[in-house]
Amino acid sequence: MDGREDQAVAPMRDPAPPAVPRPLYTTPLGTMYVADAMDLLRGQPDGSVRLVFTSPPFPLVTRKAYGNAPAGEYLDWFLPHAREIRRVLAPDGSLVLDLGDAWIEGTPTRAALPQRLLVALLDGCGYHLCQEAASHNTAAMPAPAEWVNVRRCRLKSALEQVYWLSPSPFPEADNRRVLRPYSADMRRMIARGTETRRRPSGHLQKAAIAKDRGGSIPDAVVACGNTDSRSRYITRCRAAGHGLHPARMPRPLAELWIGLCSQPGDLVVDPFAGSNITGAVAEALGRRWICGDRDPGYAGDSRFRFEPEPVLIGDAARDGTGADPA
């Protein structure tokens, strides 16, 4: 994904979260906490959240720097979070999950953990599957290196699954909020108009297709390269001598889902926020947000995403929490 694994990253750490969520900084629309995800969720009233948009620690078979659960325990670990998210979601709210790759250790075969998780969410937690989507890293590294780069028996894994779930089959959503600029071809067709005709596929293409409706409807696959290298977050982390979060989500992915599934003024929550792209995009789009990460270093450095930069509050300001000791 955008910026993932490509720069100097923060060192391995597995910090114990504080006993209660600890606010780290606030902005006009949101608050970032150092918190265990369950504690953060438990603090939200029933039905108060329009969108939980999150990329939880991935169901990886080998452990990552930021402390993902071992594969065999992943569902047992994640499902209580999913039930708590269901409780805090508004009846027409959404849970959008961005999940990474899952390979079986030592073999070039895939673990079906994301798929098992999806079935458990549908069968056991009362979610509807609104859409399966994906994030396509157009600048993906050749990973897993052993199979892709060394033995050359697999292709680059450049897709991450995105599952859009909701307690309702009809959650709040409007794709007119996330229209893209028309392609040159489409602009030409709008300019000259077209006749109703049947395409080779049998699909009837009506003349009205050439009407200007403000932009094209995006695909459910967001394609992003690694274009993040000069972002404010990266520049400020570098200037502070701090490692970058190792699994940053591409901004266009957050823009699409927050724009689609929430309205200005709605509350967006990310309990595994890392470098807090969720909060930064929610703020830019006029949504209220509550985000948290159990790692004070990641959470603290996420303030670099905001302009003006929020001031650390309380204990964090006094003891310098958020300053990556690396």
Ligand X SMILES: C[S@@+](CC[C@H](N)C(=O)[O-])C[C@H]1O[C@@H](n2cnc3c(N)ncnc32)[C@H](O)[C@@H]1O
Binding site for ligand X (CB under 6 A): 36-37, 55, 57, 66-67, 245, 247-249, 271-275, 277, 293-295, 298
Half-sphere exposure (CA, 13 Å, Cβ side) for 19? 0
Q: Which of 21, 36, 55, 310 is catalytic?
A: 55
Integer-rounded Cα radius of gyration of the chain: 21
- Of residues 310, 309, 251, 255, the one with CA closest to residue 287: 255
Q: How far is the CB of 56 from ligand X (least distance, A)?
A: 6
Q: How far is the CB of 213 from ligand X (least distance, A)?
A: 32
**Could you tell me the end-to-end alpha-carbon distance of the chain, in angstroms, rounded to an integer?**
24
Residue number of the CB closest to ligand X reads 274
Q: How is the chain split among helix, strand and coil, in percent rounded to 5?
A: 30, 20, 45
Nearest-angstrom CA–CA distance, 322 and 326: 11
Q: Which of 288, 305 has the CB closer to ligand X?
A: 305
Q: How far is the CB of 262 from ligand X (least distance, A)?
A: 17
Torsion, CA 218, CA 223, CA 226, CA 229, rounded to 10:
10
Nearest-angstrom CA–CA distance, 70 and 120: 18
Nearest-angstrom CA–CA distance, 182 and 173: 21
SS3 155: coil
Q: Which of 38, 207 has the CB closer to ligand X?
A: 38
Q: Which of 11, 181 has the CB closer to ligand X?
A: 11
Q: How far is the CB of 85 from ligand X (least distance, A)?
A: 13
Nearest-angstrom CA–CA distance, 231 and 254: 15
Q: Which residues of 243-263 are buried (b: 16+ CB within 10 A; e: fewer)?
A: bbbbbbbbbbbbbbbbbbbbe
Nearest-angstrom CA–CA distance, 280 and 303: 9
Q: Return the bridge partners of 137, or none.
A: 224
Tell me, letter by letter, the H, E, C secondary structure of 56-89: CCCCCCCCCCCCCCCHHHHHHHHHHHHHHHHHHE
Active site residue 142: no
Q: How far is the CB of 24 from ligand X (least distance, A)?
A: 13
Q: Which of 37, 51 has the CB closer to ligand X?
A: 37
Q: How far is the CB of 192 from ligand X (least distance, A)?
A: 43
Q: How far is the CB of 272 from ligand X (least distance, A)?
A: 3
Q: Which of 295, 324 has the CB closer to ligand X?
A: 295
Q: Which of 59, 274 has the CB closer to ligand X?
A: 274
Q: Which of 56, 144, 250, 310 is catalytic?
A: 56
Q: Which of 39, 98, 228, 301 is catalytic?
A: 98
Active site residue 55: yes
Q: Which of 19, 191 has the CB closer to ligand X?
A: 19
The residues annotated with a catalytic role in the active site are 55-56, 98
